[in-house]
Amino acid sequence: MPLWKDGKLGLPVKEAVKLFPELKDYLDERGRLDFSNRKARILYNRVIAKALFGLDIDYHPRGLVTPPISRYLFLKTFLKGGEKVLEIGTGHTAMMALMADKLFNCEVTATELDDEFFEYARRNIERNLAKVRLIKSNGGIIRGVVPEDERFDVIFSAPPYYERPTKGVLTEGEGVGGGKYGEAFSVKLIEEARDYLRPGGRVALFLPDKEPLIRAISERGSELGYSVRDVRFRAGTRWRHSLILGL
């Protein structure tokens, strides 16, 4: 498990600056990093990915600035190591696909819809010499995207979770899950996943601390015959959920 000097998962800003000196341009007079600045967030998260996880990640200038630690903590809730896994919507960083390959020794397939994000993901996979199979999505989730005869131990995703477009940092493609609580994409994913899971397989969703969203997905999961487990964990100052649905 990657740890920093104090035994905790993290990286002090002072140590990050030693690794990426250009971060000095974003420090205030007290040596604090300006996390409101997008370039500063990208640089800091690139340092985290490199120092803690050994990954060289390039971020798309308009994509979500994916925090590596939260993604690693999510994967730890359901991966044991060595599984055959499918990630739906790996994004421009391909962060979780790379971690599943490099840190958990999984056989990884990942999908991505956006053309530019797909190209960034492809380059990140090549840059890190990963064995991730990347599939260009055609707008579908699993059915019609992944070969029908494929079966996986785990299907996971950080799905979109807003019910309508927002003015936040997420693009519409990244953020809008649809439905009353943003659950529509996730519900369709768990519906389709049943046909692509091996016996005893599971689906894992990385979700915000949004109770109506989690309840809506959980209820549909129970209707479909999944066992449902909600693992709440803290990543930085925010709470996140790993919703794990098993057959």
* Domain boundary assignment for the chain: 13-53, 68-246
E-assigned strands of 18-169? 84-88, 107-112, 133-136, 152-157
Query: Judging by DSSP bridges, how do beta strands 197-208 and 238-246 pair with one another?
Result: antiparallel
40 three-state secondary structure: helix
pLDDT of 5 higher than 80: no
Distance CA 209, CA 87 (A): 21
DSSP 8-state code for residue 195: G
Distance CA 189, CA 194 (A): 9
For helices 95-102 and 68-76, what crossing angle results, to 10°? 50
Q: Give the residue with greater pLDDT, 7 vs 30.
A: 30
pLDDT of 3 higher than 60: no
Given this model, what pLDDT does residue 2 score?
46
Highest mean pLDDT pick, 49-53, 66-70, 218-222: 218-222
Q: Which of 66, 51, 65 is nearest to 3 (CA)?
A: 51
Given this model, what pLDDT does residue 75 score?
98
> Please, are residues 135 and 118 in contact by the beta-carbon 8 Å criterion?
no
pLDDT digits (tens, 9 = 90+) for 147-169: 999 999 999 999 998 677 776 65
Given this model, what pLDDT does residue 16 score?
87
Q: Which two tokens stand for residue 102?
A: 């490099």
Distance CA 96, CA 93 (A): 8
Classify 68-246 by CATH class: alpha beta
Distance CA 99, CA 106 (A): 9
Within 145-228, residue ranges assigned H as helices are: 172-175, 184-193, 211-223
> Please, are residues 69 and 96 in contact by the beta-carbon 8 Å criterion?
no
Distance CA 155, CA 182 (A): 19
For residue 129, with 0-12 CB atoms within 10 Å meaning exposed, 13-18 middle and 19 or more buried, which class applies? Answer: exposed
- Phi then psi dihedrals of residue 108, to 5 deg: -115, 130
Q: Which two tokens stand for residue 141?
A: 């989730």
Given this model, what pLDDT does residue 6 score?
40
Cα separation values, 223 from 78, 133, 219, 226, Å: 22, 32, 6, 7
| Model confidence, pTM | 0.93
> At a CB cut-off of 8 Å and minimum separation 6, what does 163 contact?
176, 177, 178, 179, 180, 181, 182
pLDDT of 29 higher than 80: yes
For residue 107, list its beta bridge partners. Answer: 84
pLDDT digits (tens, 9 = 90+) for 171-204: 666 677 889 999 999 999 999 999 999 999 999 9
